[in-house]
Amino acid sequence: MFLVPVFLLFILVSVSAEPIHVSIRNNGPRQVDYAAAADALRTKYGYFPASQSRKRQSTAGIGIVDQNTDASYFATVSIGTPAQSFDVILDTGSSDLWVADASCLSCSSSTPLFDTQSSSTLKTATGSNSETTIRYGSGAVAGTLSADTVSMGGFTVTGQTFLAVDQTTSSLLSGSVSGIMGLAFVQIASTQATPFWQALVNGNQLTSPEMSFWLARHRGETNVQPEESGGVFTLGGTNSSLFTGDIEFLNMPVSTPSFWLLELQALTVQGKSVALTTSGTTALSAIDTGTTLIGGPSDDVAAIWAQVSGAQQARGQQGLYTFPCSTNVAVTMSFGGKSWPINSTDMNLGPVTAGSNMCLGGIFDLTAGSNIPEGTGNPGWVVGATFLKNVYSVFRDSNPPAIGFAQLSSAAGGSGAGPSSNSSEPSLTSSVRTTTGTPGPTPSGSTTSSTNAAAKANIPWRVDLSILGLAVLSWLWFL
């Protein structure tokens, strides 16, 4: 995971009516263990191996960092008083916030650690319920429930509950990344704490109860650096310079929100429709910014690759498929409205081995090796960056919650008409507000605000978002 200094100079002034846009950075080339990443994702989604009363106030654009050629995306969060900054993976597929603390002996020497002794506002839980473990496909983290002032993109929540991690599975953290920020719903939080974004909504800090993503693509480029500008994460609304046309919103098809879910209703490969499984929950798709690939039910994935000449199951990499590198794989997905095409570059993860003419595909069998039958409540599909790089995505906390997609503008690397006439390039704006809360599901209290006049930038700078890419990094995203 990776160092992402987000450019945020927050000057207390006045409340901004615009969302805050955080730029995303992309990490450059690095060997990714996609089989391990697939296993991690299976565990994350329960496929275990067989063994608004007031007007919203503000918006923030946060730059995202793209790490290891679209493998992961992350942003910077500040914790404590005085503030300590950390790079965390932005993950709509989990709900807990955690960072490694100074007592973590299993953490790498390169991992920035939270110094609990230096924060005057830190509160630490005591007693039998103070220790918590969060399990991921790639391992687990354990630590102490804590509460402190947490800020991102100019927004602040006081008394935000998080896990100060003192134990991690070896190699779970990598590079400058110190933890994960879960952006799903409180119902799946291991800490049982209200996620940071929901605390902002509950505190009426946001202009609109929305968060939006543009995830940049660097796959297919040459001379990609370990970290690159990775897009923009917007809290409190959308960035109109990054999409064109209307945003197509679809309501979540579940009564109790947990993951961000939609129902996959149609899929084509090489221009041909694929008959999808529609019984039970197998059509439910978790829309997951913390995942690199797309995972689906065994029969559906087999049917997808059956449409690609020369495709076959990868040897020794359970659930993955290979295909001739010279083939452009054209896939579209529809969740009940428009059909959204996936760039063939995103479907090609590169040669299986150096010099091979067979490449790994971006869609894998999520249920391979699982002892959990399909249709038992787990999302049948997990839709990660392979798809999300091709759309502007919006997550809205409405009743019911909804997810929206729009065509990327030319400024965001899409084929759309481009930004509107009053916005020639993607830009970032930030404003600061503070919510006072307490550990648990419902933060409450007063708010203050300020505007960041210095945070505007032409191309989205970065707030780091890590999207599962390396075996290590990708594992983190599979939270």
In terms of domains, do 174 and 75 share one?
Answer: yes
Sorted by sequence, the CB contacts under 8 Å of residue 404 that are 6+ apart come out as 247, 248, 249, 250, 393, 394, 396
| DSSP secondary structure letters along 23-64 | EEEE-------HHHHHHHHHHHTT--B----S---B-EEEEE
Find which of 12-16, 83-87, 425-429 is predicted with most confidence, using mean pLDDT.
Answer: 83-87
Instruction: Specify if 319 maps to a domain.
Output: yes
Position 170 pLDDT exceeds 80 = no
Residues 177-195: b if buried by 16+ CB within 10 A, e if exposed: bbbbbbbbbbeebbbbbbb
- Separation between Cα atoms, residue 356 and residue 344, nearest integer Å: 18
Q: Is 288 part of the annotated catalytic residue set?
A: yes
DSSP H or E run through 476 = helix 471-477
Smallest Cα–Cα separation from 182: which of 169, 198, 167? 198
Residue type, 432: V
Angle of CA points 329, 331, 336, to nearest 5°:
175
Residues 333 and 363 both lie in one domain: yes
CA-CA distance, 81 to 150, in Å (whole number)? 9
pLDDT grade for 19, boundaries at 50, 70 and 90? confident
- The 3-state DSSP class for residue 12 equals coil
Residue 400 lies in a domain: no
Instruction: Considering only residues 367 and 457, tell me which one the structure prediction assigns the higher pLDDT.
Output: 367
Residues 148 and 256 in one domain: no
Strand order through the sheet with 339-342: 272-273, 266-269, 331-334, 339-342
The whole-angstrom separation of Cα 265 and Cα 278 is 8
Distance (Å, whole) CA 283 – CA 277: 6
Mean pLDDT across the chain: 80
Assign residue 354 the CATH number of its domain: 2.40.70.10
State residue 429's pLDDT score: 41
- Structural domain contains residue 399: no
CA distance 232 to 157: 21
Query: For the ranges 202-206, 232-236, 428-432, which has the lowest average pLDDT?
Result: 428-432
Give the lowest-confidence range in 280-289, 344-353, 410-419.
Answer: 410-419
Final residue belonging to a domain, choices 358, 385, 412: 385
Which residue is it, tokens 């947990």?
Answer: 258
Pick from 114-123, 277-286, 428-437: least confident: 428-437
Is residue 419 situated within a structural domain?
A: no
Averaged pLDDT, 291-317: 95
112 and 167 part of one domain: yes
Query: Which residue, chain included where needed, has tokens 């615009």?
Result: 18
Same domain, 68 and 178: yes
Considering the domain architecture, whether residues 219 and 294 belong to the same structural domain is answered as no
CA distance 384 to 32: 15
Which has the minimum average pLDDT: 245-259, 416-430, 437-451?
437-451
CA distances from 123 to 153, 160, 164, 189, 278 (A): 23, 10, 11, 19, 47
The pLDDT value recorded for residue 145 is 98
Q: Kindly report which listed range (221-230, 313-322, 349-358, 370-379) carries the lowest average pLDDT score.
A: 370-379
The token pair at 26 is 């992309």
Kindly state whether residue 141 falls inside one of the protein's structural domains.
yes
Domain membership of residue 294 as a residue range? 248-385
> How far is it, in rounded angstroms, from Cα 127 to Cα 164?
15
pLDDT at 353 over 60: yes
**Could you tell me if residue 5 is inside a domain?**
no
| pLDDT of res. 14 | 31
CA distances from 325 to 310, 385, 478 (A): 10, 20, 27
- φ and ψ of 434, to 5 deg: -130, 135
Position 347 scores a pLDDT of 98
Q: Is residue 183 domain-shared with residue 227, that is, in the same domain?
A: yes
Q: Are residues 37 and 475 in contact, defined by beta-carbon separation less than 8 angstroms?
A: yes
The predicted pLDDT at position 84 comes to 99
| Residue that finishes a domain, picked among 337, 361, 385 | 385
| 91 labelled catalytic | yes
How much is the pLDDT for 269?
A: 99
Checking if the pLDDT of 38 tops 80, the result is no
Active-site residue, selected from the candidate residues 39, 66, 70, 91: 91
Spatial contact of 238 and 19, defined as CB atoms under 8 Å apart = yes
Residue with more model confidence, 465 or 212? 212
Does the structure show a pLDDT above 70 at 3?
A: no
Q: What is the pLDDT of residue 16?
A: 40
- DSSP for 290-323 reads T-SSEEE-HHHHHHHHHTSTT-EEPTTSTT-EEE
b/e code 401-436 from CB counts within 10 Å (16+ = b): bbbbbbbbbebbbbebebbeeeeeebbbbbbbbbbb
Say yes or no: 29 and 167 in one domain.
yes
Is 470 domain-assigned? yes
Q: How many domains does the chain have?
A: 2
The 10s digit of each residue's pLDDT in 387-398 is: 999 999 999 999
Other CB atoms within 10 Å distance of the CB of residue 204? 18
Lowest mean pLDDT among 148-157, 175-184, 469-478: 469-478
Is residue 85 predicted with pLDDT exceeding 70? yes
Asked if residue 5 has pLDDT above 50, the reply is no
**pLDDT confidence of residue 103:** 96
Asked if residue 376 and residue 267 are part of one domain, the reply reads: yes
Is 7 part of a structural domain of the chain? no
pLDDT value of position 458: 30
Angle 404-39-349 from CA coordinates, rounded to 5°: 65
Mean pLDDT in residue range 97-115: 95
Query: Considering 385, 411, 432, which residue would you say is the last residue of a domain?
Result: 385
Whether 188 and 286 map to the same domain: the answer is no
CA atoms within 13 A on the CB side of 342: 28
- For the four alpha carbons of 195, 198, 199 and 200, in that order, the dihedral sign comes to positive
Give residues with Cβ within 8 angstroms of 197, minimum separation 6.
183, 211, 235
Q: Are residues 217 and 280 in the same domain?
A: no
**What are the beta bridge partners of residue 124?**
146
Residues 232 and 277 in one domain: no
- Given a contact cutoff of 8 angstroms between Cβ atoms, the answer to whether 366 and 41 are in contact is yes
Catalytic residue among 39, 87, 96, 288: 288
Do residues 7 and 457 touch, judged by C-beta distance below 8 A?
yes
**Residues 6 or more apart in contact with residue 145 via CB below 8 angstroms:** 124, 125, 129, 130, 131, 132, 161, 163, 164, 191, 193, 439
The Cα-based distances of 240 to 61, 391, 405, 453, 460 in angstroms read: 11, 13, 13, 19, 13
pLDDT at residue 57 in the model: 60
